[in-house]
Structure 1
Amino acid sequence: MNYEKVQLLINNSKELDKAGGIFTVNSFRKCNALTLTLKDKKADADRINEAIKIIKKNTNLMSNFRGNNLFTTAITISLENDMKSSFKELMNIYEKLKSFFFANQYLILASIVIFNARNRVNIDDAVKNTKAVYEEMRKNHRFLTGHEDISAAAMIATTSTNIEITLSETEECYEALRSSGFSAGNNTQSLSHILPLFNGSAYEKAIRVLKIQNALRDNKVPLKNYSIPLLGVAAFINDDPNIFAKEVREVADRLKQENGFGMFALGSTIRNMIATGLVASDYINRLNDADNQKLINTTNNITLTIQLAIEVAAASASAGAAAAAASSSSGS
């Protein structure tokens, strides 16, 4: 494991603690630190705080760009040379999506996915395809598919070279996962959105997912609940699930020593997900072109697609954690 990447995450986390307000949920800070680290970027608190001012100046209090999305959006545009024009472009994508979807907080995540892909896809096509993918998800799983799946739809819309085949494989993978013991639910569905990115039959993919799931569990760093989709990445980038899981355990133990990553500040679910994302990213960097082609051949950018899958899983997980925390506090 390249521990320079772990240190970059820790440094980014400390820098992000200087950005945003006191109401920014810790899981959002840590998952955004992961996103920056996956991009090999250093957080800049001053630019992020300036980005927050730009967003607030151009939106009202009830905007979906506020709340938990404020921090993620600010970090996104802080990486651009012209933050003001970048935010206008991002808002334009959001408005285009609103012509197909009811406004909701998850629409911001989908907007960011498309915004980050704007130099390699046609935005209007990506928006329309996001809607088409989402509707197909709803057709197959009406009661499972919700707003939280829109960002996954955007991921498929901006990376798949054949959306029809990808959607067909998604359903095959979902059924294979169910037959392999995964429960019916949105987390399993989210995992099935990742699996079509990789080569192999649906059954073979389900078996590989089970192996990595068991290895992580045996090493006491299981992926649970909203972090389950990361199994879809971890399963295919290693030759030995147990070695991979041991590296995740080492990274998780290292992170646990840092302020803000402990049991009470963050919890094991998000920490294990971040550790898995870091190790997965390190493995991806070791792959050569031949390895890449063996892994995946239905996308327009292999490495970027795998990185995006991790980012979408992290964003969805942090949103899920925040929602769970809000529900817990309101019920107490």
Structure 2
Amino acid sequence: MGHDLERTVNDYTKTFVQLKKKLRWHVSDERTLMMVSTLYLMKGKEFDIENFLDVSEYIKKSVGMFSSLKSSQRFSTAAMLDLKYEDPKEKFHEYLKAYEELVAGGFHRGNFTYIAALGVMTADLSSAGYEPLVKRAMEVYKGMKKEHVFLTGQSDYPLAVLLAQQEQNVEEMMVVIDNYYRGLNKEGFRKGNDLQFLSHILSLQTEMGTDLLIHRCCDYIDSFRKAGRRMKPMYYPVIGLLAIVGEASHNVERVMSLYERLNKEKPFRWHKDMNFLMAVNFLVKDKVEDGSLLSAGIQTTIEAIIQAQQAAMIAAMSGGAAASSSSN
């Protein structure tokens, strides 16, 4: 494991330990704190615990009693606002406006819509404001639902917002997604939400052909199995990320080395699935920072995909489907 990746693991552990010390009684799932630690690390921003807690408390006090932002979801929201804006408290009110726009556009109230609102807010919008993007996101969501009625649900809201920012028309987009879904399933990937998510993120990448990316995904699955890692469907999205970054022969050994290193860290030893996902993210961060390895277009796509994965993980940890039915 290279010096930079060693430093990455150390920084990640240090942030997590600080968070756990302060918030151990406020979160029921330690992975929420692992996720927050990763957000800061991936953005390369120095973690200031006092500032972070101040923003989290402000969010808690600013929302109604039944809002899912009263729960541990406020911590990941605070992190995302703190990482993107100079004045996160001021931006929080704009964020609530984006949320209400999504609700007005047909999205259900709940934690997935809160996460989708961050995607709306950070999109490159014209002077027309949120409305055109919200409308297109609903169009994308309906397209997803039409293709896979039983798989598509509120957890797909953040991804619909991300896909809505692509230039392709929605029908063409759905054809590309379906090609990935069918092609990967034919190669042994199990049908379900994880394969749907993988198909969506691969469709964001337009510089490489469908066949190449399907081949690479299969190659990664085989290589990780040979390296002793049982590949669960929950890993499919990070396999897609690796396929876009490069060949399995260059990366599997490094991911496994990082994964084993995280498993040895006392705070993380009980979170092996999460450690695997983090190991992939840390390796990808390293590749993106070395600009000579990836084209600008692929770097932009990877950043969008990481954002989508983070959104999915945060939503799952914020209580998933149960919390999504809560009204605000």
TM-score, normalised to structure 2, is 0.86
Once the two structures are superposed, the pairs formed by residues 1-332 of structure 1 within 5 Å of their partners are 1=2, 2-3=4-5, 4-20=7-23, 22-24=25-27, 25-79=29-83, 80-99=85-104, 100-117=106-123, 122-158=129-165, 160-164=166-170, 165-198=172-205, 199-222=207-230, 224-239=232-247, 241-263=248-270, 267-288=271-292, 291-292=294-295, 302-320=298-316, 323=319
Q: 1:26 offset after TM fit, Å?
A: 1.0
State whether residues 16 and 33 of structure 2, in contact with CA within 8 Å, keep that contact through their aligned partners in structure 1.
yes
**What is the rounded CA distance, in whole Å, between the counterparts of 1:104 and 1:18 in structure 2?**
29
**What is the rounded CA distance, in whole Å, between the counterparts of 1:222 and 1:287 in structure 2?**
32
**Which one has more relative contact order, counting CA pairs under 8 Å at least 6 apart?**
2
State whether residues 138 and 160 of structure 2, in contact with CA within 8 Å, keep that contact through their aligned partners in structure 1.
yes
Question: Quick one: which amino acid aligns to residue 229 of structure 1?
Answer: P
**What is the rounded CA distance, in whole Å, between the counterparts of 2:108 and 2:119 in structure 1?**
18
**What is the rounded CA distance, in whole Å, between the counterparts of 1:71 and 1:18 in structure 2?**
14
State whether residues 110 and 150 of structure 1, in contact with CA within 8 Å, keep that contact through their aligned partners in structure 2.
yes
How far does the alpha carbon of each residue in 1:38-68 deviate from its partner, in whole angstroms, 9 at most, with x for none? 1111222111211122112211221022223
Farther-moved stretch of structure 1 (216-225 vs 181-190): 216-225
**What is the rounded CA distance, in whole Å, between the counterparts of 1:108 and 1:260 in structure 2?**
29
**What is the rounded CA distance, in whole Å, between the counterparts of 1:69 and 1:305 in structure 2?**
26
State whether residues 73 and 314 of structure 2, in contact with CA within 8 Å, keep that contact through their aligned partners in structure 1.
no
TM-score, normalised to structure 1, is 0.85
State whether residues 18 and 45 of structure 1, in contact with CA within 8 Å, keep that contact through their aligned partners in structure 2.
no
Gap change, CA 1:271 and 1:144, over 3 Å in 2? same
For structure 1, list consecutive stretches of 5 or more residues without a partner in the other structure.
Answer: 297-301, 327-332
Question: Quick one: which amino acid aligns to residue 5 of structure 1?
Answer: T
For structure 2, list consecutive stretches of 5 or more residues without a partner in the other structure.
Answer: 323-328
Gap change, CA 1:209 and 1:306, over 3 Å in 2? same
Question: Quick one: which amino acid aligns to residue 189 of structure 1?
Answer: Q
Q: Secondary structure at the match of 1:184?
A: coil
Q: 1:318 offset after TM fit, Å?
A: 4.7
Farther-moved stretch of structure 1 (111-120 vs 223-232): 111-120
Q: 1:245 offset after TM fit, Å?
A: 1.1
Equivalenced residues, count: 313
Q: Secondary structure at the match of 1:41?
A: coil
**What is the rounded CA distance, in whole Å, between the counterparts of 1:248 and 1:120 in structure 2?**
40
State whether residues 16 and 43 of structure 1, in contact with CA within 8 Å, keep that contact through their aligned partners in structure 2.
no
Q: Secondary structure at the match of 1:144?
A: coil
Q: 1:222 offset after TM fit, Å?
A: 5.0
The equivalent of 2:325 in structure 1 is: none
Q: 1:278 offset after TM fit, Å?
A: 0.6
**What is the rounded CA distance, in whole Å, between the counterparts of 2:317 and 2:31 in structure 1?**
7
